Structure 1
């Protein structure tokens, strides 16, 4: 315990060689050891700082400490108003499909759709713009509202009447989707009419949508069974067109090509005659009895 310890600084110029070697060996060992945990901590620290920065930036933009709220979620935003309108249109269509065709006021519609908490501005927008200009809503003179289907029909008789009128006018058929939107219980009615042969369903090749047509049975012809039997008993297998025409000629039946209109030869155009030169009349022959001759001095010459 009587030993004395002397503090030696690494910067001392009088440091012996052994201590210098130990110092250099310690530095080399320290540099060789990988520091993995420190890197992870740095990454975690940078991630936390970036999240904090993003949170602070969002807070600064919103001006609130909580989540940012935009106008579309508020009661006066456009998305909210159009959501109210869509709910009204769906409800009016459902009423029409249930057979309820009496009109409703705006307050009654909002009551049935559980939307009585809408603002006055939204109500004003619905009454003056949205419902008045909506193609699916009909506005009565009393400012009440009804669903406006593509076609006004309530039963299958009116559907048949509409299809028959379109067939007579040459307007074709009507879209099956429009019937579904116009006629209550449309699927069942259309299926029954198709099974009974009253209407025809045809799918359009462009989009596979079905079109309904009136099935006109007045053009159906009743053919005698004996005629059908005789027709089917005739076989023309192995006969070409020329042999069939020869057979018809022997039976006194002319082929269709002989019954066609004969083309008349085109009349030749007459060439326009060359313009004859018009003979100019002799000078003053028509004034022979009137004209008089004068000499150079202006005296009348006696004839």
Structure 2
């Protein structure tokens, strides 16, 4: 330190100032080089005000309550019911017709997160009153309109409808109640007749081959020559009259109208008292006034 002080004492003051400035610049550059670089993510967050904190907590509470309300709403309940019914229908169509408990249904439909209250609603109200669910001793199965086991059962159903004049059976109802219905219908072949309605729905009829007969070609031509498209019964009846053909309605027995009884005229009441002793009309005398008066 003594040597350096002596050197400083013999140096030019201008040089000393320059050396001091150089040291300061060097120390400042070294400090900048070794200082940590602050990124945008390490910036200090502003402390939340009390108002912002309360609004954020309120928003979180509302969102959590919203999720809870969705699960407890009636829409969610009936959505679960629809999912169960559709699943029971699909498994019935695939041939799984055995009954299931409520726990097995919830397990297979992946509805294990429903509450105990919703489960009790399914058991006591929803599944019991649903027309497509059959309940047996606490177990549940699908209940179609026509419970058909195989293709023979389907053929018997169509034959019964044909004999009783009940018409055909909707294909949708057959597919609903007959497991593997497409395979069964294909196996029956020409024993079934398909008719498509205007709304594109198909109806199945029994093809009774005993009722088939050959019609002469001349009769077929006459039948097809009569234009009856887009004609109602009244227009057909007018056409038959013009051709000199009496309609079946006129050939039938005529209805006898009931004879209406004539109502009695409401007049004055007649005096029904009979006059007695008319042969003594000139002999009787009236003594009511004390003087005899002959009648």
Q: TM-score, normalised by structure 2?
A: 0.54
| Distance in structure 1 (CA, Å) of the matches to 2:164 and 2:131 | 26
The residue aligned with 2:109 is 113
Is the contact between residue 158 and residue 205 of structure 2 (CA under 8 Å) also seen in structure 1?
Answer: yes
Within the candidate set 141, 144, 148, 1:146 is matched to: 141
The residue aligned with 1:82 is 78
Question: What do residues 102-131 of structure 1 show as CA deviations (whole Å, max 9, x unaligned)?
Answer: 211111212222333322111111111211
The residue aligned with 2:279 is 288
The residue aligned with 1:128 is 124
1:201 and 2:194 aligned? yes
Q: How many residues align?
A: 192
Change (3 A) 1:78 1:214: same
| Distance in structure 2 (CA, Å) of the matches to 1:188 and 1:97 | 12
1:97 and 2:93 aligned? yes
Change (3 A) 1:61 1:139: farther
| Distance in structure 2 (CA, Å) of the matches to 1:284 and 1:135 | 82
The residue aligned with 1:177 is 172
Within the candidate set 205, 211, 224, 1:219 is matched to: 211
Runs of 4+ in 1 over 4 A off after TM superposition: 59-62, 71-74, 283-286, 293-297
Structure 1's unaligned 5+ residue stretches are 1-55, 233-255, 262-282
| Distance in structure 2 (CA, Å) of the matches to 1:300 and 1:73 | 111
Q: Which structure is higher in helix share?
A: 2
Is the contact between residue 93 and residue 175 of structure 2 (CA under 8 Å) also seen in structure 1?
Answer: no
| Distance in structure 2 (CA, Å) of the matches to 1:300 and 1:82 | 105
| Distance in structure 1 (CA, Å) of the matches to 2:128 and 2:138 | 9
The residue aligned with 2:155 is 160
DSSP-derived class of the 1:146 partner: strand
Q: TM-score, normalised by structure 1?
A: 0.53
Q: Report the Cα offset of residue 89 of structure 1.
A: 1.7
The residue aligned with 1:190 is 185
DSSP-derived class of the 1:124 partner: helix
Change (3 A) 1:120 1:257: closer
DSSP-derived class of the 1:202 partner: strand
Is the contact between residue 99 and residue 141 of structure 2 (CA under 8 Å) also seen in structure 1?
Answer: yes
Change (3 A) 1:75 1:294: closer
Which protein, 1 or 2, shows the higher relative CO under an 8 Å CA cutoff with sep ≥ 6?
A: 2
Change (3 A) 1:290 1:184: same
Q: Report the Cα offset of residue 172 of structure 1.
A: 0.7
The residue aligned with 2:11 is none
Question: RMSD value over aligned CA atoms?
Answer: 3.7
The residue aligned with 1:64 is 59
Change (3 A) 1:158 1:134: same
Q: Report the Cα offset of residue 146 of structure 1.
A: 0.6
| Distance in structure 2 (CA, Å) of the matches to 1:66 and 1:72 | 11
DSSP-derived class of the 1:81 partner: helix
| Distance in structure 1 (CA, Å) of the matches to 2:138 and 2:190 | 43
DSSP-derived class of the 1:64 partner: helix
